[in-house]
């Protein structure tokens, strides 16, 4: 892996190593603020899957779950490698973030809104845009009007529109971004894809990132670990993309499950970790054993 003097470390590495530090909250706040087009203030980072150092997902999944000053929860997840059921993983993550807000005796009014931000470094789904946004809208079947919140119900909600209660989903397809950065969000997309941060950026999060995310500012040991991370990630990605393409061709006529099995076999032949195989294909460990992969 070659590096330049002004190269900044990858965002997923920063999330895992640096962004949980309160001194660096401003970086994550910058990304979220640019995406949601509103000022975001993080008050704490909550427990999430990648807080636990697990070697099996070290190169694949990185997530941060944060609470803002309104009590709302933002789940930011980076997925580096192809995963067949990634959209369902997003749904699971949001559902978990909602249910974890309540104890058994809590009232439902204590549930706060959840924002899901997924940064995909692989070809997720079909479409040509780099940014997708989804929210649940509740409208009259005959009138097409949005369901509102009555005056009596306002104390239980933070909005006058029912749709604002439900989670919102943002999907950033990094590989699809190919534009000159003019807006703060485009500057963030440029950084996510290339590691480049413009000298004249005005975004507070990127300004802070320029201070703390420099490759050259890391110790020799950290630099070496980062190089290993990057090299391993590239190797895993190449193996999964190759196996996916070959498995798709061989399994196309046989059905979805057979396609997953073919991909898993290709990955196994390239000595990819079994946990990466299950994440990439959606097969379970029981499936791996059953089909003698």
Are the CB atoms for 213 and 9 separated by under 8 Å? yes
Q: Taking residues 259-279, what's their average pLDDT?
A: 82
Residue 250: its pLDDT value, please?
58
Q: Convert the pLDDT of each residue in 22-46 to its tens digit.
A: 999 999 999 999 999 999 999 999 8
Q: What is the largest CA-CA distance in the chain?
A: 65
Q: What is the pLDDT of residues 148-158, one digit of tens each?
A: 988 877 777 77
Average pLDDT over residues 225-243: 83
Helices (H), 47-111: 86-99
- Give the residues across from 119 on adjacent strands: 78, 172
Helices (H), 195-255: 204-212, 220-251
- Is residue 264 within 8 A of residue 282, CB to CB? The reply is no
CB–CB of 103/85 below 8 Å?
no
Q: What is the pLDDT of residue 173?
A: 96
Beta strands 61-68 and 42-46, pairing class? antiparallel
Please give the mean pLDDT across all residues of the chain: 86
Bigger pLDDT: 229 vs 243: 229
Name, of 78-82, 130-134, 160-164, the range with top average pLDDT.
Answer: 130-134
CB atoms within 10 A of CB 101: 16
188, 194, 196, 197: CA torsion to nearest 10: 0
Strands 168-173 and 114-120: parallel
């Amino acid at each position: 892996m070659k590096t330049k003097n002004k190269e900044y470390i990858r965002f997923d590495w920063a999330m895992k190593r640096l962004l949980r530090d309160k001194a660096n909250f401003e970086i994550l706040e910058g990304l979220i603020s640019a995406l949601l087009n509103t000022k975001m203030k993080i008050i704490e980072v909550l427990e999430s899957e990648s807080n636990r150092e697990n070697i099996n997902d070290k190169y694949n999944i990185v997530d941060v779950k944060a609470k803002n000053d309104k009590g709302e929860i933002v789940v930011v997840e980076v997925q580096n490698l192809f995963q067949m059921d990634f959209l369902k993983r997003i749904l699971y993550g949001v559902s978990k973030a909602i249910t974890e807000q309540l104890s058994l005796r809590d009232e439902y009014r204590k549930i706060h809104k959840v924002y899901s931000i997924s940064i995909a470094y692989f070809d997720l789904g079909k479409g040509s845009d780099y940014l997708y946004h989804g929210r649940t809208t509740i409208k009259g079947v005959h009138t097409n009007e949005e369901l509102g919140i009555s005056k009596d119900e306002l104390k239980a909600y933070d909005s006058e529109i029912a749709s604002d209660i439900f989670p919102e989903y943002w999907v950033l397809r990094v590989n699809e971004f190919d534009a000159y950065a003019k807006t703060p969000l485009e500057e963030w997309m440029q950084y996510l894809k290339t590691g480049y941060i413009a000298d004249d950026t005005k975004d507070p999060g990127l300004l802070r990132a320029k201070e703390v995310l420099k490759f050259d500012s890391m110790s020799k040991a950290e630099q070496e670990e980062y190089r290993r991370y990057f090299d391993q990630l590239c190797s895993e990605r190449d193996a999964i993309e190759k196996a996916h393409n070959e498995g798709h061709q061989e399994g196309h006529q046989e059905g979805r499950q057979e396609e997953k099995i073919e991909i898993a076999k290709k990955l196994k032949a390239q000595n990819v970790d079994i946990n990466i195989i299950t994440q990439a294909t959606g097969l379970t460990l029981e499936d791996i054993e059953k089909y003698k992969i």
